[in-house]
Amino acid sequence: MNLNLQLVFKSRFIEELEFYMRYFLEICYKGTAYCGWQVQPNGVSVQAMINQALSTILNEPIHCVGCGRTDAGVHASQFFLHFEAENVLPKLFDLRLNRFLPKDIAVKRIIEDLPAKAHTRFDATYRAYDYHIHFHKNPFKDELSWYYNWLPLNFEAMREAADLLLQYEDFEMFCKTGGSNKTTLCTIFKTELVLDEDGNGLRFHIAANRFLRGMVRRIVGMLIAVGKEKISLKTFKAVMDKKATFPFHPSAPPQGLYLSEVRYDYV
pLDDT in tens, 35-86: 999 999 999 999 999 999 999 999 999 999 999 999 999 999 999 999 999 9
Catalytic positions, please? 71
Q: What's the pLDDT band for 17 if we cut at 50, 70, 90?
A: very low
Percent of the chain with pLDDT strictly greater than 70: 91
Which residues of the chain are in CATH 3.30.70.580 domains?
3-111
Taking Cα atoms as reference points, which of 145, 179, 125 lies closest to residue 75?
Answer: 145
Q: What's the pLDDT band for 177 if we cut at 50, 70, 90?
A: confident
Is CATH 3.20.20.80 the classification given to domain 3-111?
no
pLDDT at 220: 98
Is CATH 3.30.70.660 the classification given to domain 126-263?
yes
Give me the chain's average pLDDT, please: 92
pLDDT at 15: 46
Q: What's the pLDDT band for 195 if we cut at 50, 70, 90?
A: very high
**Contacts (Cβ under 8 Å, ≥6 apart) of 134:** 141, 145, 146, 147, 148, 200, 201, 202
Which residues of the chain are in CATH 3.30.70.660 domains?
126-263
pLDDT (mean) for 208-235: 97
Burial of 155 (C-beta count, 10 Å sphere; 0-12/13-18/19+): middle
pLDDT (mean) for 118-124: 98
Q: What's the pLDDT band for 130 if we cut at 50, 70, 90?
A: very high
